[in-house]
Structure formats: C-alpha cells, structure tokens
Amino acid sequence: MRRFLAIGYWLLAVSLSALAQSNVNYSVRVGETKENTVLAEFPESYEGKKVNIRIQTVALTEDRAQTDSLDFVFADEEIEALGTWGEQVFAYTDEGETEWTVWRSKKEPKNRNQAVKVKNGRDSFEQYLQETLGTRANRGWIWWIFAGVIGIGVLIKSILTIRKRRAEKLLSSVEQETLHRMRMGNRRHYISQAYLWILLLVLYAPIALIVIYSFTDSKILGNWTGFSLELYANLFTGHADAGLNSAILNTVIIALIAAVSSTILGTLAAIGIYNMRARHRKAISFLNSVPMINPDIITGISLFLLFVALGVSQGLATVCIAHVVFCTPYVVLSVLPRLSRMNPNTYEAALDLGATPFQALRKVMLPELWPGMLSGFILALTLSVDDFGVTFFTKGSGGLETLSTFIYSDARKGGLTPELRPLFTIILLVMLTALIVINVRSNKKAKKEQKQ
C-alpha cells in the first residue's frame, strides 16, 4: 500500500512539474530602466499568435477614482508606437494618438523617440524584448529540480520503509500489533508536523526566491544569468542606485533619531505614569494606546493634515516626529513592567540623602530600568525601519525616501532595483541570527530557573 502511495507521489510531482513547464508564459513587464517606466504587461504567450498588451492607467476625476485598462491585440493590427513616461502613459494606434494621463503625473516625455517604440508587429517587438531584457531562459528546469528533490526524498523514504517492513515480518504477531498501534499514534503527529512544514514552505517561498536571485547579476528577478556576487559588491561599494543608497542612509538616520528620542520620552513618561493617581494613569494609558490601535494610514493622514493645517513643510523632521508618535507607546509599555518590579523607595531615599532628581535618576533608576529601555529601543528601531504608511504621508514632496517608500515607488514602476535583493538577504540573515541568539539565551535562562 505504502509503496503505491510513494509511487503515486512521485508521479504527481513529475506530472505537476511537466504541467508547470507547459504553462510558462512570457509574462514580463517592459521597461526596467527608470526612464522608461511602463505599466504594460504581457499576459499571453508571445510565441503564439496573439499578444495582448495591456496598458493600465489610473485617472482621478473630481467625483470618481477609476482604473482603466486597454487591451491591444498586437499580432494583426499594427501599433505604431507604445510608450510611457514617468507616470504618464501614451499609446499611439492607427486610429490616431490616444493619451491617458496618469493621476499625479508631473513630467511629459521630452520627445516621442524616448518612449518605447514598437513597430510593424511581432518581429521588431521581439527584438525589442531581447534587447532590453535578454532572452529569458526557459525556467522549466527549476520545476524539474523541484520535482527531483521531492521525488528522490520520497523514493529514499519508501525504500527505507520497504526494508523496515521486510525486517518486521520476522517479528511475532503480537509485536507487530503493538508496532501498528504505535504507528497510528505517530501518524497524527506526522500529519500535524507536515502541516506546519508545508505552511512554512509556502510562507518562505517568496523570501527564498529573492535570496536565491540575489546571487545572480540579472536585472530582472526570475532571470538567472549565472552565479555572481556582483550585486553584493555593488551594495557595499556604493555602486548601487543612488536613490537606494540615500534611502538606506535616511532609513538609518530616521530610525536612530526616532528610537533615541522615543526611548527618552517614553522612559520619562513611564516613570511619571507609574507614580500617578489611578484615574490619571488610566486616562494617559488610554491615550498611549491610541497610536498603537490606529492603523498606519490613519496615523499618517492625521499627521499629514496637521502639518498641512499648520503650514509646516514636510521632510525629515516631520517623518521623525511621526515615527516618535508610533514608537513611544511601545517604549512606555516595555519600561512600565520594570518599574513595578523595582523598589519604589530607593529613589526617595536617594533624594533624602541629598541627590538631585537628575542624579537619583541616573544612579538609582536607570540601572534598574535599562533592560526595559533597551528592549523598547530595539522595538522602536525595528518599527521605524519597517514603517511605510506613516512615512509615506509625512515625507512631503521634497524627494525624501526611506527604504520602504523607495521599494514602493520602485515596485510601482514595475521593477525592483536589483541591489535590493542582497540587501534583503542580509536583513533576513541578521534577523535570523538575532532571533536565534534571543531564543538560545531565553532557553538557557528557562533551564536555569527550572534547576533552581
């Protein structure tokens, strides 16, 4: 029975991969360069007769926001030229020039030659694709490898099981019965473990994709051009996109400013709140929880409107203030538990013995509070680095970009700056190491406590 199951698995994997291979579409987004930003996509196979070019435009009128999309059938009809510029989309057909303006567009093409030109149907279009993108290798082998790995695993497993079963036939029937019962118990365990691992596999598939393609120098994700560490080199030698470099720098600056100020503000606030009367404490705790409950977009928009109403020009300062707004509550919450654990009289004792409040804070309270402050600080740092929504609304139009907003505008333009892949891999590794260290340490602690 098991043997059949294993063979079935193997067949399933192989046929699935074959199916996947036959379904490979030439779906690309044209124009990876920043200048020729394109919203066009090619959903149909271009080896076939029909190629649909889809141009998506967004238009916002006074009372409705709408998304239009246009399909061009490309094999028979001739399209003179198709081009996009900035966030503006132009398409020229036989019927004459049609133009859609994308909302929020600022630039117009300087001349039409700068726009992507597609003439006389398929041949030149293919040429264009090859020139800009390079021929995209058939990705079928990826699926074969995938199937192969699964298949070999299943094969080994089933061979082992068969050998085990053969050995078991020598046992007495009672022993076989017990073994069977044990296995039924184990099966539940295996199924639940398999569920977790499959879930993890799906969760990590996109992440793995980026990590794998960080080791090739292809401009487009999904196009393997051989192993290379060039992207890593670019990232560290500053040869990456200038926008990316400044985005990384901005992210670090903002995160540090926000984390330091929210740690100071939050620690003082926590000490104050802890010593307040219950009624006041409740009110302020509620206020403190508001930025945590509010989704990014509400925090961002409300601050944006505040700055607009006050006439403040938005930039680095406003982003920092906004980050302090959503970071500080977490600092307060991580310092408060430390306060309730410490002896409340030591501070007063220090004052009685002649210390100034500042000295008492530094010499008596800080040594007790710093673990909470540290975890608050780290939390604030990660929250700030991770934030997109609030930054997006408060960064103003001065061209300030953080990593998040850079990725967003990059992705909207239809491509991902290649150097983001190694950056992402490094961040992932750092996070993984940090989590493992924390985990190992807390495990050790738990063991110690158990012994005691």
Which of positions 40-99 make contact with another protein (CB under 8 A)?
41, 43, 56, 58, 60, 62-67, 69
Considering the complex, state which of residue 52 and residue 161 has its C-beta at the smaller distance from another protein: 52
CB burial of 100-131 (b: ≥16 within 10 Å; e: otherwise) equals: bebeeeeeebeeeeebbbbeeeeeebeebbee
Considering the complex, state which of residue 115 and residue 379 has its C-beta at the smaller distance from another protein: 379
CB of 383 to another protein, least distance (A): 8
Contacts of 42 (CB under 8 A, 6+ apart): 26, 27, 28, 30, 51, 52, 53, 54
Q: Given the structure tokens 């149907």, which residue do they identify?
A: 121
* Residue at 198: amino acid letter: I
Listed residue (265, 400, 429) closest to 319, CA to CA: 400
**In 100-139, alpha helices (H):** 122-133
Q: Per rule CB under 8 A, is residue 7 in the interface with another protein? A: no
The tokens for 40 are: 């066009």
Binding positions for another protein, 141-170, rule CB under 8 A: none
Q: How far apart are CA 356 and CA 364, in angstroms?
A: 11
Per-residue contact flags (x/-) with another protein for residues 256 to 275, judged by CB under 8 A: ---------xx-xxxxxxxx
Considering the complex, state which of residue 103 and residue 370 has its C-beta at the smaller distance from another protein: 103
Dihedral over alpha carbons 432, 438, 439, 445 (to 10 degrees):
170
Q: How far apart are CA 282 and CA 278, in angstroms?
A: 6
| Torsional class of 311: left (φ above 0), alpha (ψ -120 to 50), beta (otherwise) | left
Strands 65-73 and 52-60: antiparallel
Binding positions for another protein, 350-389, rule CB under 8 A: 351, 356-357, 379, 382-383, 385-386, 388-389
Listed residue (149, 150, 135, 145) closest to 222, CA to CA: 135
What backbone torsions phi and psi does residue 383 show, to the nearest 5 degrees? Answer: -60, -40
Window contacting another protein (CB under 8 A); options: 5-13, 92-100, 113-121, 294-302:
294-302
Q: Which of 13, 324, 373, 381 binds another protein (CB under 8 A)?
A: 324
Considering the complex, state which of residue 83 and residue 87 has its C-beta at the smaller distance from another protein: 87
Q: Which of 83, 347, 384, 400 binds another protein (CB under 8 A)?
A: 347
CB of 252 to another protein, least distance (A): 14
Q: Which of 287, 366, 374, 429 binds another protein (CB under 8 A)?
A: 287
Q: Per rule CB under 8 A, is residue 285 in the interface with another protein? A: no
Residue 149: is it exposed, middle or buried by C-beta count within 10 angstroms (0-12/13-18/19+)?
exposed
Strands 88-93 and 81-85: antiparallel
Considering the complex, state which of residue 44 and residue 158 has its C-beta at the smaller distance from another protein: 44
CA angle 347, 349, 352 (to 5 degrees): 115
Q: Per rule CB under 8 A, is residue 293 in the interface with another protein? A: yes
Considering the complex, state which of residue 8 and residue 272 has its C-beta at the smaller distance from another protein: 272
Considering the complex, state which of residue 179 and residue 308 has its C-beta at the smaller distance from another protein: 308
Q: Which of 3, 48, 157, 204 binds another protein (CB under 8 A)?
A: 204
Considering the complex, state which of residue 115 and residue 331 has its C-beta at the smaller distance from another protein: 331
Considering the complex, state which of residue 36 and residue 318 has its C-beta at the smaller distance from another protein: 318
For residue 173, give the 3-state DSSP assignment: helix
Per-residue contact flags (x/-) with another protein for residues 402 to 441, judged by CB under 8 A: -xx--xx--xx---x---x---x--xx--xx--xx--x--
Q: Given the structure tokens 């738990």, which residue do they identify?
A: 446
Binding positions for another protein, 207-246, rule CB under 8 A: 207, 209-210, 221-222
Binding positions for another protein, 174-193, rule CB under 8 A: 192-193
Q: Which of 101, 105, 294, 346 binds another protein (CB under 8 A)?
A: 294
Considering the complex, state which of residue 204 and residue 236 has its C-beta at the smaller distance from another protein: 204
Considering the complex, state which of residue 48 and residue 222 has its C-beta at the smaller distance from another protein: 222
Q: Per rule CB under 8 A, is residue 115 in the interface with another protein? A: no
Q: Which helix (H) or strand (E) holds 429?
A: helix 420-451
- Give the bridge partners for 60, in sequence order: 65
Q: How far apart are CA 369 and CA 367, in angstroms?
A: 6
Q: Per rule CB under 8 A, is residue 206 in the interface with another protein? A: yes
Q: How far apart are CA 221 and CA 224, in angstroms?
A: 8
- Contacts with another protein: how many residues (CB under 8 A)? 106
Window contacting another protein (CB under 8 A); options: 86-94, 127-135, 154-162, 204-212:
204-212
Considering the complex, state which of residue 162 and residue 431 has its C-beta at the smaller distance from another protein: 431
What backbone torsions phi and psi does residue 230 show, to the nearest 5 degrees? Answer: -60, -40
Listed residue (98, 64, 62, 69) closest to 83, CA to CA: 98
**HSE, side-chain direction, 13 A CA sphere, residue 381:** 11
CB of 151 to another protein, least distance (A): 19
Q: Which of 5, 156, 171, 203 binds another protein (CB under 8 A)?
A: 203
Binding positions for another protein, 16-35, rule CB under 8 A: 20, 23-25, 27
